[in-house]
Each structure stands twice: as C-alpha cells, then as structure tokens.
Amino acid sequence: MKEQLDLLIQYLNGIWLNRRWIWMTAWVICPLGWIAVTLMPNQYTSEARVYADTQTILKPLMQGLAINADPSQELRLMVKTLLSRRNLETIARYTDADVKTRTTEEYEDLLDTLKSDISIQSAGKENLFTISFTGKDAQYAQDVVQASLDVFVENAVGQKKMDTRRANEFISTQLAEYEARLLDSEAKLADFKRKNAGYLPGSERGFVAKSEQMKSELEETRLQLREAQSSLISARRQLDQETNLASKQSSGFKTEYDLRLEALQTRLDSLLFRFTERHPDVRETRRQIEELKTQQSSSGSNAAQLALNPVLQEMKLTVGQMENQVASLKAREESLIEKIRINDEKLEYLPKIEAELTSMMRNYEVTKGQYDELLSRRESALLSQSLDAKSDQISFRIIDPPLLPREPSGPMRPLFLTVVLILAVGVGFALAFIASQIWSVAFSPTQIYKQLQLPVFGVVSATELSGLKKIERWRMLRFSFVSVLLLVFFVCFVVINSMPSVHQLIMQGKEML
C-alpha cells in the first residue's frame, strides 16, 4: 500500500512539475470550444397537450346492435402510427417543408428529422398526450406541432370511417358471393327433389308396405294359378273322355265313303295275294284308297257329327275359358314379380338418395347460416357507419394549443461550456503526465534506485535555494494568473450564453458576417 501511495505522489509531483502543459492546453481548447458552443444555433421547442375522450353516451345504448371497437385500443394504435411515413409526409406537406427540398436525399433527411424530433408522450393521465417538436426555427416548430396535432385528430376520424367503409365493402362482397351460392344450392336442391320425388325421406315405409302388399298379391295369384291349372287339367281330361266316347258312338254309322273304302280294301287284299307292290293294279288301287280317304277327311262327316254334340261344345268352351284364366294368372304373376323386383331396386337405391339429399341439405344449411350471419353483420356495420357519421367515438379536446416559443429551449450551453473546460483540463493533465514520463525527474533516492538499479549511498542538499525559490514562485504566479484568467473567461461565456438578448446580438452578428 505504501509503495502505491509513493507511486501516486511521484506521478502527482511529475504532473505538477509539468503543469505548464495544463494551462497551455486549456488555453488552446477552451476558447475554441467555448466559441463553438456559443455559436451553436438555438433550439426552439413547441408543444401541445390534447385529451382524447373515449366515453360516449351512445356506446352503452348501441351495445349489441352496432359493431363497437375498443376506442382505447384504436387510440394506442394511432399514437404508435403517428410517426409513420405517410403521416410524416402529410406533416411535411402541411408545413410546406417539402417544397424547400430539392433532391430526394434532402427530402429523406427531412422525414428522418421529423421522425426523430417529433415526440408524442402520455402526460401522466389516461388519454392525455403531449406532442412536442424541437427545431432551429420557432415558427417552424409551432407549425410542425400544429400539423402533427391535425394529423393525429384526422387519423382518428378518417381511420375509423375508412375501416368501416372497408368492412362494409368486404361484407357486401362476401354477401353477394354467398347469395349466389345460396341461390345455386336452392336450385340444385329443388331440381334434386323434383327428379327424386318418390325417393325422398319417408318413402321407405311406402316402398316396404308396397313390396309386402305385392308379395301377398303374388302368393294369392300363384295359389289361384295352381287352382286354375288343376281345374284346366281336370277339364281337359273330361273333354278327352267325352270326345273319345262321342267318336265311338259315331263310328257305328257307315257312310258311302266307308263302303267304298271297304270294297277297295278287299280288292287290294286280293291283288296283293296274287301280285307284288309294283304291279300297276296294286298301285292304282292304293291310289284310289288314298284319294277316297282324302275325300272322306275333307267331307268331315264324323267331325260334323261331333261338332253337333252340345255337351262337347260346352266342355270345349269351359276349357277355353280356363286356359284364358290360366294365361291371365301367369301374366299377372310375371307382372307382380317384375314390379316387386323394380320396387326392391328402388328400395336399395333409397339410402343413396337420402345420403345425397342429406349432403345437399347440409351444404344448404351451412351456406344459409353464413348468409344470414353476413346479413346480420352488414346491418350492424351499416348501423355502425351511421353511428360514426352522427357521433364520434373518440372526441379530442385541445388542452394547450401549440404556442410560438419566445425563448430558445436549447442547447444547454452552460453545461456544454463546463464540459469543454473539464475536457480541456483533463487533456492538459494527460499531456503533463506524458511529459513527466518522457522527461522524468527523480524526487527520492528510492526512485533513483528503481530507475538506475544502482545503490544510493547518500543525499546532498542544495545550500543556495533563493534562486530556485524565486523561479518557483514566478512559475506559481504565472500558473495562478492564467488559471484565474481562464476561469474569468469561463464565467464571461456562461453569462453571455445565459442572457438571451446578448446571445441574440452575437448570433445576429454571425449571420451578418
């Protein structure tokens, strides 16, 4: 610890020995710095306070009827977007600052300056805001704050109307689209019901009942068919018996053809006894027999007798009626079988129709629900638009309008003057320390030993100190004088920069030069 303290004392002695560097550096840096601070352009700050009232008597009354956005959230969004590029361009246009720029770079610099120098902050109370701007010109500062205030208020009104209009346009577009889809769904549903009128839900019981009824009719028809077929077989058997009986009875009466056939047959037998089949007489006799049989058949003498039998006629009529009944029952059976097949196919097709109808109804209900919802929202949006047109959800009250600043708000020249002084003294100390290290002086035997690495056997004191003391007093007097003079200059610069009128004269002289 003692070594460190000795080292510190050694450094301080070296700096004090080279103290001329301190005042020389201070006298070079301070005047230049103080003049630069004095000639810095004035900064003027203008500000305005505005209160945003988000409470309205219509808000609770229109609850549930109109679309009520959160005014506080909209207000926070407007505060964040006040310094957007579009708003900055509007502010530059309102203040005519844009016409003073000649190039794109100057215009971009103007927007950057506005963005960095315009400030909007909460004033401590809810919805109370302070808008301020600091610039080189007092009138320009007031104009910028006024333009910012106008843009802030206009955004609150314009953005709400724009949002409402966009919402109405979007809802109207969607509503038209869903209306077209709804009409298309209704047309498809009506066409489907028309084409499948017999297959709609509820028809299944009718198909089942109809199938059961036709199956019952089929069984009854088959029973009647079997009965009719049995009766027909019995009637045909009786008809055959009666026909055979009548034929036998009619065979006891010989006609002219029978007598001639018997004679020709007797002759044929006699000829065959004597000749062969190739004999001309045999062939001729056979020809005559065949011709006579043909004539007998064509004459129908036996058939005529049979046809004149009333019992046979009645039985034939009965058989014919039975045959017609059997044919009718068979046709009815086939018709019922075909109808049952078609009905069963329709019954199998019914679930598919019901599934398609359910899908179409579901799509229709979804579309109709969306359409009704959009219709309700459009009415709410129109009501909100009407409400916005007649009343403002956010009303602004200007608490303090932007005023023309009479005195500059900056820069803080006394502080800058002090900083320059401290900086100059610090640089002087640094130079004095460097000089003490370059042109080092030994202040103790220990320092000599450390620097030269040689033993020190003794110390010889100076006997004549009057000349050295005189020189040291002169150096001390000179250092004190230049230091006090520097402080006087510092005070003068502080006084000048603290008096706006005197400083204004200096700035006017600068402009004249």
Bigger pLDDT: 433 vs 18: 433
CA-nearest of 54, 156, 135 to 92 is 135
Residue 137 amino acid letter: D
Question: Is-contact 346 211, C-beta < 8 A?
Answer: no
**CA distances for 12 relative to 9, 15, 24, angstroms:** 5, 5, 18
Lowest model confidence (mean pLDDT) among 47-51, 146-150, 190-194, 462-466: 462-466
Domains and CATH numbers, the chain: 2-40+411-512 (no CATH), 44-179+374-400 (3.30.70.1130)
Residue 419 confidence (pLDDT): 93
pLDDT in tens, 280-298: 777 788 888 888 778 767 6
Q: What is the mean pLDDT of the chain?
A: 76
Phi/psi for 255 (5° steps) reads -100, 175
Span 88-110, mean pLDDT? 89
Q: Can you tell me the distance from the alpha carbon of 500 to that of 493, in angstroms, rounded to the nearest whole number?
A: 12
pLDDT confidence bin for 182, thresholds 50/70/90: confident
Question: Is-contact 156 69, C-beta < 8 A?
Answer: no
Structure tokens at 310: 């009333």
Residue 304 confidence (pLDDT): 47
Structure tokens at 39: 């000639």
Structure tokens at 450: 């450390």
Does 65 have pLDDT greater than 50?
no
- How many other C-beta atoms can be found within 10 angstroms of the C-beta atom of residue 10? 19
Span 151-165, mean pLDDT? 67
Bigger pLDDT: 384 vs 353: 353
pLDDT confidence bin for 511, thresholds 50/70/90: low
Lowest model confidence (mean pLDDT) among 201-210, 436-445, 504-513: 201-210
Residue 301 confidence (pLDDT): 46
Identify the H or E element spanning 38.
helix 20-38
Residue 124 confidence (pLDDT): 65
Does 270 have pLDDT greater than 70?
yes
Residue bearing tokens 């009827």: 65
Residue 108 confidence (pLDDT): 92
User: Where do the H-state alpha helices sit in 69-103?
Assistant: 71-81, 85-94
pLDDT confidence bin for 253, thresholds 50/70/90: very low
pLDDT confidence bin for 50, thresholds 50/70/90: confident
Q: Can you tell me the distance from the alpha carbon of 436 to that of 441, in angstroms, rounded to the nearest whole number?
A: 7
pLDDT in tens, 390-435: 555 567 788 888 888 887 777 888 899 899 999 999 998 888 888 8
Percentage with pLDDT > 70 across the chain? 69
